[in-house]
A and B are shown apart, each in its own frame.
Chain A
Amino acid sequence: EAGVAQSPRYKIIEKRQSVAFWCNPISGHATLYWYQQILGQGPKLLIQFQNNGVVDDSQLPKDRFSAERLKGVDSTLKIQPAKLEDSAVYLCATTLAGHEQYFGPGTRLTVT
């Protein structure tokens, strides 16, 4: 069984530019999460999807961050415009039955 796929693995942009990350979940996993992990900290949830509907986006900075999950499968997370404090690893995770969350390798974003 293939794991959670994410791309790109690394991205360097200048502040005020825009960037997008892509996540492909494990086949059949209905719930998808985007987490932000700042260096030295634990991951923090940005948004949770159940199929293609948003379940929890209470911690998503909606003035600059947006996310969608087309057809309940792949998901994209966008930042526009980026700030220096957005430098972090963005992790995508998915779950089938709700216990264990399977994480992708993450996208490491550096904003200069």
Chain B
Amino acid sequence: AQKITQTQPGMFVQEKEAVTLDCTYDTSDQSYGLFWYKQPSSGEMIFLIYQGSYDEQNATEGRYSLNFQKARKSANLVISASQLGDSAMYFCAMREGFSGSRLTFGEGTQLTVNP
């Protein structure tokens, strides 16, 4: 079974608008972490935001926020005020168990920001 599911292969958004990228996960662990990474066409993986399973508040980092709904096992990324430079591949990832464990990645969502 897929541990990380990203159901949107591609998304389009107008510049300056907000966009939500979906991510659902599957785990039986009580302690886990959820991550979002951005991968531009140049190939590097850029860390965006982290949410721990015990964190009560949704994580925010600048224009990025993570909509964490534990009961639904979803961890959607919200990008506010989209910029042309946000066009990239976005990956949701999960770390199960203790800190330092491997990341399991989803298949990614290709975001295109239109001017």
Residues of A in contact with B (beta carbons under 8 Å apart): 31, 33, 40-45, 48, 50, 55-56, 89, 91, 93, 95, 97-106, 108
Contacts and interface: CB of A to CB of B under 8 A. Distances in A.
Going nearest first, the 5 A-B pairs with the smallest beta carbon separation are A98-B99, A42-B105, A98-B100, A103-B45, A45-B102
Contacts, number: 57
Contacts of A105: 42-44
B45 A43 contact: yes
Given A42-B108, A45-B102, 14 more contacts: A33-B103, A41-B107, A42-B4, A42-B106, A45-B103, A48-B102, A50-B100, A56-B102, A98-B99, A98-B100, A100-B35, A103-B46, A103-B47, A105-B44
Interface in B39-83: 42-47, 50
Given A89-B43, A105-B44, A106-B43, A99 B105 contact: no
A42 B106 CA distance: 6
Nearest to A100: B47
A106 B44 CA distance: 7
Interface of B: 4, 33, 35, 37, 42-47, 50, 91, 93, 98-108
Contacts of B100: 31, 50, 55, 95, 98
Given A100-B35, A100-B50, A108 B43 contact: yes
A13 to B, nearest CB: 19
Nearest to B6: A42
Given A41-B107, A45-B103, A99 B45 contact: no
A37 B99 CA distance: 22
A106 B50 CA distance: 22
Contacts of A44: 105
A93 B4 CA distance: 20
B33 A93 contact: no
A66 to B, nearest CB: 19
Given A42-B105, A43-B105, A99 B99 contact: yes
